[in-house]
Amino acid sequence: MSKEVAVGKFDGKVTLVTGGGSGIGRAICLAFAEEGARVVVADVDPAKGEETAKAITKADGETIFLQADVGRAEQVKAMIEEIVHIYGQLDCACNNAGIAGTMARVVDCTEENWDRTLLINLKSVWLCMKYEIPPMLKQGSGAIVNTSSAAGLVGLPGWPAYVASKHGVIGLTKSAALEYAKANIRINAVCPSIIKTDMAECFTGGDHGVEDYILAQQPLRRMGTAEEVAAAVLWLCSDAASFVTGHALSVDGGLLAR
């Protein structure tokens, strides 16, 4: 009797993940690879990006790493062109690269912090979709998930630039979803609350008192994991979510249900 070969949900698919070098991005890359996708790990930091790619290769997955600053149009364009040149297709994309920026109230927020946070968290998502969508149009299908935040659905005192950028991602996602629904390209957003990654320390400052306060607001009384966010992203990209587009999916432990 021949040995059965396990078939992943994304066998034969090519997936791009920006900010794939660490945290949620790395978890998304590994999850896609585990389900059979050929994963393009994109990150501005080559050391971190290569580390993710090596982890995928070690687990017998197929991957390449592309260094790109997603805030620069020419680098995003070159990245997508390289993917299409190598694989001839782009089936899924998770525009996940982002930063917390610096904590400051509206009056104290610097122009530099505002511009950089909006550039990396919002403009980059637009730039990525600008170049990801054309090859998807040619092949007649595609799925895109943009990483927003629970802070893209509610306010967060002290983080005006971050909150504005993440609200913007949701609005951009909805507009793009409406524009390309007839082309069989689904575009959604995922909205994590505080997730146990290095970025979480940007919001807590490493202060256990602040962390305890945040956890007390969580109905599930814990932080989420990067793997839990990755599972939501994979579902949104999968055939199981074939009738879902223009949606902002909260992965927040019930935080916004209050």
Given a contact cutoff of 8 angstroms between Cβ atoms, the answer to whether 92 and 20 are in contact is no
Neighbours of 14 (CB within 10 A): 23
Spatial distance between the Cα atoms of 76 and 82, rounded to a whole number of angstroms: 10
Catalytic residue among 87, 162, 180, 213: 162
**What's the sign of the alpha-carbon dihedral 137, 143, 147, 151?**
positive
104-109 long-range contacts (CB < 8 A, ≥24 apart) are: 104/158, 104/160, 105/157, 105/158, 105/160, 106/160, 109/160, 109/161
Spatial distance between the Cα atoms of 155 and 144, rounded to a whole number of angstroms: 25
Task: Please confirm, yes or no, whether 180 is among the known catalytic residues.
Answer: no
H or E segment at 66?
A: strand 62-67
What separation, in Å, do the N-terminal and C-terminal C-alpha atoms of the chain show? 55
Closest CA to 96 of 58, 44, 135, 156: 44
Given a contact cutoff of 8 angstroms between Cβ atoms, the answer to whether 148 and 95 are in contact is no
> Which residues have C-beta within 8 Å of that of residue 158, sequence separation ≥ 6?
103, 104, 105
State both tokens at 128. Answer: 């990525």
Active site residues: 162
